[in-house]
Structure 1
């Protein structure tokens, strides 16, 4: 399980390395273009089983920490789905990885 650390140690989100690798591609692409956006996810039952959201902006420090030293194979279809989500008014939402690749 990797971590997405947002702000100066203020928020630490535990995310599986494979998911985090895909999110990193989408988030970095948006922030490179100086586009702020919302990211939302369903909380783990251990922290209340609700939903959380953060506003991502390039002015706020962001740190991606992977447990594994290996880069997972990237599912381009999933990156595209996540990018479309990030570009929507609702913002980036974590969705299941599609099983079928185009």
Structure 2
């Protein structure tokens, strides 16, 4: 279980490493373009029940921390799906990965 630390807050946002790797790509693309947006997620097991949203802005420090030392293999479809939510009026929503059927 990885986490995001945002701004000067000591609070952490717990997100499974594989999902965090994909979010990192999408967030970096948006921030590189100097775009501000929201990120919404359901709280991880063990955290308070519910969901949260934060406002991401290029000038606010952001740190991604992964439990796994090896980088996850990225699923281009999931990145595309996350980017689609990022470009909506609701901002990025951490949606589930859709796996392509194997032939």
TM-score by length of 1: 0.92
CA deviations on 1:37-77 (whole Å, 9 max, x unpaired) are 00101123543321100000011100011111101110000
Query: Structure 2: any 5+ residue segments left out of the alignment?
Result: none
Q: Distance in 1 between matches of 2:10 and 2:36?
A: 19
Work out the number of aligned pairs and report it: 102
SS of equivalent to 1:47 = coil
Give 4+ residue runs of structure 1 displaced > 6 Å after superposition.
none
Q: Distance in 1 between matches of 2:9 and 2:87?
A: 27
RMSD: 1.6
Query: Structure 1: any 5+ residue segments left out of the alignment?
Result: none
**1:88 aligned partner:** 88
Which stretch shifts more, 7-16 or 60-69?
A: 7-16
TM-score by length of 2: 0.91
**1:36 aligned partner:** 36
**1:6 aligned partner:** 6
**C-alpha contact 2:41 2:52 (8 A) present in aligned 1:** yes
**C-alpha contact 2:15 2:44 (8 A) present in aligned 1:** no
